[in-house]
Structure 1
Amino acid sequence: MGNNNELGPVSRRLQVEHAQAMAEQADRHAVTLESILAVLRSTRLEDRASRSTALDLASAALIELRSTTDQQLGTMLEPVDGAFARLRTDLRPLARFGGLDVQFVEPPTGGRALPGEVAHAARAIVRSAVLALVDQEEAKRVRIQWDCDGLNLLIGIRDDGQGEISAHDDALRPIAERVATLDGDLEVSSTTGWGTSLDIRLPLDPPAEAEPLEDSVNFSPRERDVLRLVASGARNRAIADQLGISDNTVKFHVSNLLRKTGARSRGELTAIAASSTRNRA
């Protein structure tokens, strides 16, 4: 009888895609809830007006949730300026009622349209980044800029916070992992007292298919087990529980996987492993 922990390639791929969809949905809900709370706390609105605005926000969020547009990512193309306009709509309530000054630098019109997956991911990344910067940096002003060089979507985000956040901060880990999954780059630069800048590059074309990792790298049987669970998005504690080993042993195997694959971070390892899983499927 087979081990239920041994997932097939297709099952692992579906698990990763489901986890990403859930993370995106949670991110969108977080922005909506932050916006509703900002409205209800606002001193600019009377009680009746604040309730009415909060209801409008909740209704719009429900309509968006029920929409099937984002389920057709594989066939959609979005003009870069249209995708940016949707981002502005997402963040408008937080900017209007949350006391946050959000400055948008419009992308150039025309040019190459964004694949739906990239446009959708870019908005999710920016929403997550804004919430992280406001929460961690106590920022009052955030500047968001998009550009497209024909091959990549270039995203710049800068705040006026404390300038103490780094690329290794837990608040930025989901963003780094999402960027790595898309074969992109994330650079974080902070200056104490002057704020933090995030520079993100997202390729518009999918990466070339590579030889499956497990065929090209000499892994031990236990490393293969850990790699498959990393590809599914599992964290160290979940991996330890499933394999019946300690957290420290999981960290040891992940360290070996980073060294053998040449990955620079766990997020990059996750992206490499997930890509290898898709290629094998």
Structure 2
Amino acid sequence: MQFVEPPASGRALPGDVAQAARTIVRTAVLALVDAGTAARVRIQWDCDGRNLLVEIRDDGAGTLDAHDDAVRPIAERVAALDGQLRVESTPSWGSLIAITIPLDPPAASNAIDGQQDLTQRERDVLRLVLTGAGNQEIAKTLEISVNTAKYHVANLLKKFGARSRTELAVLSR
């Protein structure tokens, strides 16, 4: 695995963006390695002043597609951060996953439609869901059990009539 050093000068990454990006990269690398055809994975982080730019390349079979089940959790998390995901594959040459994440994602509004019916804890959970946090991350941040985090997320999905976290994020904004 080759890690490319970030530039010494430039804007520091906000902690929440860096944490989300690390999770996304970890998920992507595991997806590429689990396919069993990649011998090398290259991860590059860069910044254009407004966005964190992440490229993950492998030398695998080059069959990865943006609609693959392995890419779906990555796409959902990137979408929750108002980012963009691009997947390019060349058979026998490998795949590229290019991710763009805004350094300043829009702040979650306190005036979310339907939020007047939410408890304070549900509001806290919703804010974390909007950043793409999973149940374990929500539980750790709010110092609650994972089962309690799942319970609150399920209640939010029900209250907003959403079928997924991504749909919840879109409906709540």
CA RMSD of aligned residues (A): 2.3
| Cross-structure match for 1:230 | 163
TM-score norm. by structure 1 comes to 0.42
Partner of 1:142: 41
CA distance in 1, matches of 2:51, 2:3: 19
Match of residue 200, structure 1, among 70, 75, 99: 99
* Offset at residue 206 of structure 1 (A): 2.1
Q: Deviations over 1:183-238 (max 9, x none)?
A: 00000000111100000001011226678567xxxxxxxxx96953335x3xxxxx
Percent of pairs with identical residues: 60
Counterpart position of 1:124: 23
Given candidates 137, 158, 166, the residue that maps to 2:57 is 158
Task: Give the aligned partner of residue 253 of structure 1.
Answer: none
Question: In the alignment, what sits opposite 2:169?
Answer: 271
Question: Is 1:169 aligned with 2:68?
Answer: yes
Structure 1 residues 213 and 138, CA gap change in structure 2 (3 angstroms): farther
> Which structure 1 residue ranges, 5 or more long, are not aligned?
1-101, 215-223, 234-266, 277-281
Question: 2:79 is matched by which residue type in structure 1?
Answer: A
Amino acid at match of 2:104: D
**1:182–1:271 Cα contact (<8 Å) kept:** no
Map 1:34-49 → 2, pairs under 5 A: none
- Cα shift at 1:105: 1.4
Distance 2:72 2:88 in 1: 15
For the residues of structure 2 that align with 1:138 and 1:213, how far apart are their CA atoms?
Answer: 46
3-state SS of paired residue (1:125): helix
Please name the residue that 1:251 is paired with.
Answer: none
Count of matched residue positions in the alignment of Structure 1 and Structure 2? 130
Equivalent runs, 1:1-281 vs 2, <5 Å: 102-136=1-35, 138-207=37-106, 212=112, 227-230=160-163, 233=165, 267=166, 269-273=167-171, 275-276=172-173
Q: Which amino acid aligns with 2:12?
A: A
Distance in structure 2 (CA, Å) of the matches to 1:271 and 1:138? 34
| Deviation of the 1:156 alpha carbon | 0.4
CA distance in 2, matches of 1:114, 1:179: 16
- CA distance in structure 2 between the partners assigned to 1:171 and 1:163 by the alignment: 14
**Counterpart Cα distance in 2 of 1:184 and 1:204:** 10
Q: Which has a greater percent of strand?
A: 2
Q: Which runs of 5+ in 2 are unaligned?
A: 115-156
Q: How many Å separate the matches in 2 of 1:225 and 1:127?
A: 30
Flag the structure with higher helix content: 1
Note the C-alpha offset of 1:272: 1.1
Work out which of the two has the higher radius of gyration on C-alpha atoms and give 1 or 2.
1
For 1:130, give the aligned amino acid: V
Quick one: distance in 1 between partners of 2:66 and 2:27? 14
Displaced runs of 4 or more, over 3 A: 208-214, 224-227
Conserved? CA contact 2:162–2:168, under 8 Å: no
